[in-house]
Structure 1
Amino acid sequence: MTQRLPSSLTPLDTALAALLRGVDPIAPVELPLTEAVGCVAAGAPLVAAWPPHDIAATDGWALRANDLVGVSAYSPLALATAPVWVDAGDAMPPGCDCVLDADVVEISGSLAQVLAEGVPGQGIRRTGGDIASGTPAGAEGHPVGPADLLLAGVAAVDRLSVRRPRLRIVNVPDTTTTAHMIAGIARAAGTDVPTHQAVARDEASIADALDPSCCDLLLIVGGSSVGRHDAAVAALAQRGDVIAHGLALQPGRTAAIGRLGKVPVIALPGSPDHALAVWLALVLPLVDRLSARLPRRQVALPLVRKIASSVGIAEMVLLAEEHHAWMPLAVGEWPLQAIARADAWLLIPASHEGFAAGEPVDAYLMRE
């Protein structure tokens, strides 16, 4: 069914500027390591050196390398006392700077002899070899990832300071699949995401679910077109302010933006492709501002083929990487199979006519 559109379309840049106006990074919170994954680090503790002293990296005999110069099976070194056996992770005995394999030392009664040389540091993890003293457990402005958890866990840090925006999703009936998709993407972006189901598609039911008191950003999924049962925009107008309804963005033209008090509100179309495009173009910049996230990484690759775009409307492009180049999968309209295949996305500004084949373009990765 063809979507009916609002009578006028607001430029994407205008809509985004209106949403970002007055939005500042939220206060950091301290979360357990497993809850901090995906959230943006707000400063990071400086961890102590690890290991804190020289330790054995393998099981074997702890010895001093200088004592073993020239030693071989043909010229063994007899030891006055048996060497110390260490297991991996044990502190190195004083004066020892290498660990040799079990079969390199022969012990017979009270006699011990070494059959091979060693070098300083062999079989050892040096003090600070894994983590240098003063290394931050995480990078401020970047999402906390598995490597950050490894550093924090090894250094016995059990909580990290992060920014985790509270994002409330109001699901209009008959758009559950889209709402679940957006909720999953939002969690991966490091937000706290309670989802609330409106009782019905009517204005009063949707308005009842619009509670800005416990969130930093509110999304309505569905009901933003101009059909007989699309009441999300009317519900927003009843409870707050509608800034724009209808964006010069494809996919996503029937989206709406507004505010409930100081809380930004975005009404996403119920169609998965349009909702995803609006998430990338409008919601993600808001989440990044609230999280104080540093700019997202873009990957520049040449285009396999030309992309044509209409002047006057910003168009979203899905891309797949093929042989170190970007292959356009969909422009303006996004089949679900293209969404499933996409590695990256590109926004063509409304003033741009597109890109020529072979021209390098900077694209944002779908999954970082």
Structure 2
Amino acid sequence: MPVAEAVAALAALARPVAAVETGTAEARGAVAARDIVVGTGRPEARTALRDGWAVSTAAIVGASPYAPVRLARTPAWVEAGAPLPADADALLPPEAVPPEAVPPEAAGGEPLEIEVEVAAGEGTRAPGAEMPSGARLVMAGERVTALQALALAAAGLAQLTVRRPRLRLLAAAPDTLTPLLGAWIAARGGVAEPAARPAEVDPLADAILAPGADAVVVIGGTGLGRRDITASALARAGRLHAHGIALRPGESAGFGEAAGRPVLLLPGRPDATLAAWLALGRPLLAALAGAGPETTPTLPLTRKVASVIGLTEAVFLHRTASGVEPLGGAEIPLHRLARADAALLVPPAHEGYPAGTAVEVLPL
């Protein structure tokens, strides 16, 4: 089955999972279930963007060394982030008031001559300007970033509604791939639940059918070997939609459904596992999370990439100052795969790309 057809079929099996409430700090990477907008504008009062002396600009209009303006008392000192007094609308710089004129508690004091004027609002944030009422901080279907979490916390939004799919990962021991896939799933807002993959068809079918997950990912056992039973187990547990994807590496991947949930079968060799996850697993996770379209960076290749017509080819890349360096695809040794921090999926209609071609890459 072509990769594009497989992705579409997998997406048809997936339904966005139920939305849950979570804390702002824990929401990073998760997909927002609805738009998140600011309720009450912030700050409620004018606040200082820097340290300085709070003044009313109307009281010091035209102040200069040649025409100082006399104030009845020393202005109030305000630290960055603190609200200004109600009658103040700007900040004088710290050096505008000489140290000898500052009373012990930085308020009150003797009359004072000011020799500099400032514009209204200078050094301050107007009420409601930091977080205007009605401002949309996160769109539905958007993955919450660390910066958005910062803005949400500043807006006083302690809880938000997200979709966080739970994926059961079934892998046989020794298992070196589940930790990596689990980290990738967590980074994109999902929850990975590792479990042992039984070595017999019936117990594996039972493990696929076990409740509690939104999708099941079986790692290994997808080939034609005598102990490769995952396709048979899925067929027994539910329905095997495809076994054999036009993907290199990862040709023996497959998918189907059981108990109303999508089931993804990944090959057991690291390069094939990761290629099949990038081509099929990431779109599946996005569909379960209700994620909208995401942009991918475009970078130039430092060397040419050759590909086979008719297959989607996964090429692992290493980002450099001048672009992305191809490391290899099918049968790439682990010591080279370990350097990968991005990947490229070459469409089946291409024979590859010459050096210097700008290509869309998937960050790992």
Q: Same fold (TM over 0.5)?
A: yes
In structure 2, the partner of 1:334 is 332
SS at match of 1:321: strand
Instruction: Provide the C-alpha distance between the structure 2 equivalents of 1:312 and 1:85, rounded to a whole number of angstroms.
Output: 71
The alpha-carbon distance between structure 1 residues 131 and 324, as it changes in their structure 2 partners (threshold 3 A), is farther
SS at match of 2:236: helix
Residue 41 of structure 1 aligns to which amino acid in structure 2?
A
Aligned positions of 1:126-137 closer than 5 A: 126-137=126-137
Residue 120 of structure 1 aligns to which amino acid in structure 2?
A
In structure 1, the partner of 2:8 is 17
CA contact (8 A) 2:209 2:259 kept: no
Instruction: Provide the C-alpha distance between the structure 1 equivalents of 2:28 and 2:193, rounded to a whole number of angstroms.
Output: 17
Unaligned 5+ segments in structure 2 are 104-108
Structure 1 residue 70: Cα displacement: 4.2
Deviations 1:158-186 (A, max 9, x none): 11111111211112222x11111111111
Residue 183 of structure 2 aligns to which amino acid in structure 1?
G
In structure 1, the partner of 2:183 is 184
Structure 1 residue 29: Cα displacement: 2.1
CA contact (8 A) 2:177 2:270 kept: yes
2:179 is equivalent to residue 168 of structure 1:
no
SS at match of 2:344: strand
Deviations 1:304-348 (A, max 9, x none): 332221223221112233444333221333333443333432212
Instruction: Provide the C-alpha distance between the structure 2 equivalents of 1:312 and 1:141, rounded to a whole number of angstroms.
Output: 33
Alignment match of 1:87 (pick from 79, 96, 108): 79
CA contact (8 A) 1:142 1:293 kept: yes
SS at match of 2:283: helix
SS at match of 1:61: strand
SS at match of 1:29: strand
SS at match of 1:311: coil
In structure 2, the partner of 1:307 is 305
Aligned positions of 1:46-125 closer than 5 A: 46-47=37-38, 48-72=40-64, 75-105=67-97, 106-107=101-102, 110-125=110-125
CA contact (8 A) 1:167 1:218 kept: yes
CA contact (8 A) 2:305 2:326 kept: yes
Aligned positions of 1:172-321 closer than 5 A: 172-174=172-174, 176-198=175-197, 200-321=198-319
Structure 1 residue 285: Cα displacement: 1.0
Structure 1 residue 107: Cα displacement: 4.7
Residues matched between the structures, number: 355
More displaced 10-residue stretch of structure 1: 308-317 or 53-62:
53-62
Deviations 1:143-170 (A, max 9, x none): 1011111111111111111111121111
TM-score, with length taken from structure 2: 0.88
CA contact (8 A) 2:250 2:267 kept: yes
Deviations 1:112-141 (A, max 9, x none): 332433332222122233222211232222
CA contact (8 A) 2:272 2:330 kept: no
Instruction: Provide the C-alpha distance between the structure 1 equivalents of 2:96 and 2:57, rounded to a whole number of angstroms.
Output: 13
Structure 1 residue 191: Cα displacement: 0.9
Instruction: Provide the C-alpha distance between the structure 2 equivalents of 1:332 and 1:92, rounded to a whole number of angstroms.
Output: 64
In structure 1, the partner of 2:29 is 38
Instruction: Provide the C-alpha distance between the structure 1 equivalents of 2:335 and 2:42, rounded to a whole number of angstroms.
Output: 47
CA contact (8 A) 1:172 1:220 kept: no
Structure 1 residue 73: Cα displacement: 5.0
For the aligned residue pairs, the C-alpha RMSD in angstroms reads 2.4
Aligned positions of 1:134-145 closer than 5 A: 134-145=134-145
Residue 224 of structure 1 aligns to which amino acid in structure 2?
T
Instruction: Provide the C-alpha distance between the structure 2 equivalents of 1:324 and 1:273, rounded to a whole number of angstroms.
Output: 25
Instruction: Provide the C-alpha distance between the structure 2 equivalents of 1:313 and 1:91, rounded to a whole number of angstroms.
Output: 62
CA contact (8 A) 2:221 2:228 kept: yes
Residue 117 of structure 2 aligns to which amino acid in structure 1?
E
The alpha-carbon distance between structure 1 residues 103 and 362, as it changes in their structure 2 partners (threshold 3 A), is closer
More displaced 10-residue stretch of structure 1: 337-346 or 118-127:
337-346
TM-score, with length taken from structure 1: 0.87
The alpha-carbon distance between structure 1 residues 354 and 82, as it changes in their structure 2 partners (threshold 3 A), is closer
* Percent of matched pairs sharing the same residue: 37
Instruction: Provide the C-alpha distance between the structure 1 equivalents of 2:55 and 2:340, rounded to a whole number of angstroms.
Output: 56
Residue 226 of structure 1 aligns to which amino acid in structure 2?
L
More displaced 10-residue stretch of structure 1: 29-38 or 356-365:
356-365
